[in-house]
Amino acid sequence: MEGQNNALSGTLQRGISFFKKSDWKNALSIFLHIRTDKEEEKKELAYYTGLCYAKLKCYAEAAPHLENFIAESQDSVRVYQCRMTLAYVYVMVKNIKKAEYELTMLMNNGFESAQLYATMAYAAWLQNAFPRAIEWYEKALSVDENNLTALNGLGFILADSGKDARRGIRYCRKAVEKAPDNPVYLDSLGWAYFMDSRISDAKKYLYKALAKMPDSNEIKTHISIVENKKE
């Protein structure tokens, strides 16, 4: 990789330097102004431009660059990374069929990770396929029992669907214990307590979540529902 980077233009290397410092905006600004006929540089541009857009939550813009890199690259590690990112991008723009396609391609090629299964679970949840989502989250936890995304996701679904609120609380609580300042996890735990009719506990965690994410409509909706419920 070092030899390859040395062969790239100075401008492209400068953009990559910004990228490695997590300065996505400056990196992207440089990448978007680069014009090249070199195939290797085109691949590098597609890779880094796609990732920059994804990091900046410009999901629609990220997708074509990531797709181009996947189509042209033989680098299995980077292709895995881009397929995972592309799957997430498609989930965020609600293109679930394409998200599942990318994830299925990864699984068919022998890749396995808690992140992959958790993304499959989230895609299923968006389609209201709750039993399938639960199965995928459980599979994620079988790979990594401490995966926070899977702990939170599984706990929320178990509670929200009414399947097993108390079990849901256990998973959500474990996520909060490991990341006590995460407003999404706090909200899930508060909602799980509400679904188990533990109103005081629900309010405690929901208000903590709102304090950390005051613009969240979902948290506000949960609080409104809980406030109108008599203990």
Residue 230 lies in a domain: yes
Average pLDDT rounded to a whole number, residues 116-132: 91
pLDDT (0 to 100) of residue 62: 97
* Assessment of whether the complete model's pTM goes beyond 0.85: no
Q: Which residues contact residue 89 at a Cβ distance below 8 angstroms, ignoring those fewer than 6 apart?
A: 54, 59, 62, 63, 66
Q: Is residue 167 part of a domain?
A: yes
181 part of a folded domain: yes
Residue at 48 is within a domain: no
- The CATH number of the domain holding residue 188 is 1.25.40.10
SS3 197: coil
Confidence of residue 156 (pLDDT cuts 50, 70, 90): very high
The answer to whether position 29 is within a domain reads no
Of 130, 54, 42, the residue nearest 85 (C-alpha): 54
d(CA 122, CA 16) in angstroms, rounded, equals 31
Instruction: Give the CA distances from residue 198 to residues 11, 147, 183, 205, in Å, rounded to whole numbers and listed in that order.
Output: 58, 26, 19, 11
- Cβ neighbors of 132 (< 8 A, separation 6 or more) are 121, 124
Q: 51-60, 108-117, 203-212: which range is least confident on average? A: 108-117
Instruction: pLDDT band for 230, please (50, 70, 90 cuts).
Output: low
Distances from the Cα of 163 to the Cα of 168, 172, 192, 218, angstroms = 9, 15, 11, 21
What is the reported pLDDT for 231?
A: 58
The answer to whether residue 157 sits within a structural domain is: yes
CA torsion sign for 176, 180, 182, 188 is positive
66 vs 50: CA distance, rounded Å? 5
Amino acid at the residue 101: Y
Nearest to 183 by CA among 156, 159, 207: 207
The total number of structural domains in the chain stands at 1
Residues 88/98, Cβ–Cβ less than 8 Å: no
- At residue 18 the predicted structure's pLDDT band, cuts being 50, 70 and 90, is very high
Domain that holds residue 206: 146-231
In 3D space, the residue among 158, 153, 178, 176 whose CA is nearest the CA of residue 168 turns out to be 158
Tokens of 44: 């590098």
Q: Which of 49-58, 94-103, 199-208, 220-229 has the lowest mean pLDDT?
A: 94-103
DSSP alpha helix (H) spans, 74-198: 76-92, 96-108, 114-126, 130-143, 148-160, 165-178, 183-195
